[in-house]
Amino acid sequence: MTILSGWSSILTAVCLTTLVTLLLQASRRKVPKCASFPPGPTRLPLLGSVHLLPQQFQERTLAEWGTKYGGIVYAKLFRTPAIVINSYKIAHDLMEKRSGNYSDRPRFILIPELLGWKNSIVHLRYGEQFRMHRKWMQDAFRSKEALDSYRSIQRREVSVFLANLLSTPEAFMTHFTQFSASIIMEIVYGHRVLNDKDKFIGIAERAGESTVTAGSPATMLVDFFPIMKLIPEWCPGGGFKTKAAVAHKYVSELYEVPYRMVREKMKSGTARPSFTSNLLERRDRVGKLTLEDEENIKAAAATVYSAGTETTATAMMTFILAMVRHPSIYSKLQDEVDRVVGLERLPDFEDRAALPYTECVIKELYRWHVPVPLGIPHNTLKSDIYGGYHIPENAMVIANIWAMSQDEDIYPNPTDFNPERYMDNAEEDPKNIVFGFGRRQCPGNELADRSIFILVTSIAATMNITKVKDTSRAEITPSLDFTSGFVSRPEAFSCEITARSDKAVRLIRQMKVATE
């Protein structure tokens, strides 16, 4: 999440002056005499603390606030009170132990209303509809029985991935995306992806790219001033609506096209079991499918598909970068996989318990560069007291996941990629941080974790990863440059990925043939 981009456009929004009176009235909040707000940065009339936030890598500025003011910080984003949490302990105390009060979302306008992500669990306010979606997700992605049933899909797709990597190693990012999308597409819609030209992958990519271009939750003025959604596109300050209209078209396509495919196959009797078909069959058993039912099922399926692809692919791109920069760690990882798995087969899920160093590498991968630095804001349902400080009702609660992952008190020398830090289990498991908190924790975290495990071990078993060389044969170490935004991934970099041996090549080809 980027809290606000282009905030200076407030000065050019013609209609903004009409909001000043309402803003001042809404900002007058009573604070109990027994408690004060947490400390925080200076606040200006109208702007609050927005003027102090850069447009890029805002998680770093929020972490600096934590260093200066403490683990819990109070700020104002225009008229919205904001609680910034930079401490894992405080996040756990509030968002886990008091999750009933911290599981709401702020009212977002841009993403659900203008871009078309309606009824998405990611943005739903806390209530009955949210609980229904959450139960659907838990049934499909939290039970051991369900997760184990997806293993055959993951095994097949890792074989496809390795064959693709063998053929075009320079396109490793594309192959990671296809791997993730293929698994989620089959689970959610029962459709098997055969290559990266699959039309459903294209639909998801267009929806995702246009959404990111249009903005992220709490990034645009319209999320703070809902009346701005009425501004015409041609009006100064209304340009965001042009991008929103483009995104809305692609998001609608994502909602409708794969859903219609499932419905048509169900009518013809050719539908394969899937998340979508299971929900439709379950609803048919209790009564007639209503328009509201359809809208909820479409939204749940589209959300799982879009969210389940990007973060896994991003984490794996970070893995490749880390291994290029730390060849000794990759060599140690390969040695452990060879010792446990051998050279006659690919790693499997049952091997995980016997691979402690591999487990540490995956934990460090999650921590070293978190894919979603600021998550998505929560919202308080009622006022609260914590550590003697007053937390107001309807406050935006921002968990700075990046700051927690870089906490030197928990992870000494946090910029180092050091799997050994977990060998004695002395430090906090980053999986408790990177997937969110409380009832808003990512419901697909276990599936994503299993996919990352099978990818990491299969790559280690079959591939070497080395630095490219320049014209003078000197090795080029890729830089530690990452994109800023809701999802942060490494900037494009080069490396050499080659098969470890002829035996590895034969094994990959044999496994690929066996899955066809």
Binding site residues, as ranges? 442
- Alpha carbons 55 and 153: distance in angstroms, whole number: 40
Residue 134: CB atoms within 10 Å: 20
Q: Give me the torsion for CA of 307, 310, 316, 322, rounded to 10°.
A: -110
User: Whose CA is closest to 312, among 121, 465, 89, 487?
Assistant: 487
DSSP secondary structure of 173-202: HHHHHHHHHHHHHHHHH-----STT-HHHH
With beta carbons less than 8 A apart as the criterion, state whether 499 and 463 touch. yes
- The token pair at 418 is 């050091």
- Alpha carbons 137 and 278: distance in angstroms, whole number: 12
| Residue with token string 């991008």 | 243
| Residue with token string 């590895």 | 504
Contacts of 108 (CB under 8 A, 6+ apart): 123, 217, 218, 223
- Alpha carbons 434 and 442: distance in angstroms, whole number: 9
With beta carbons less than 8 A apart as the criterion, state whether 79 and 27 touch. yes
Binding residues for heme: 442
Residue 501: CB atoms within 10 Å: 12
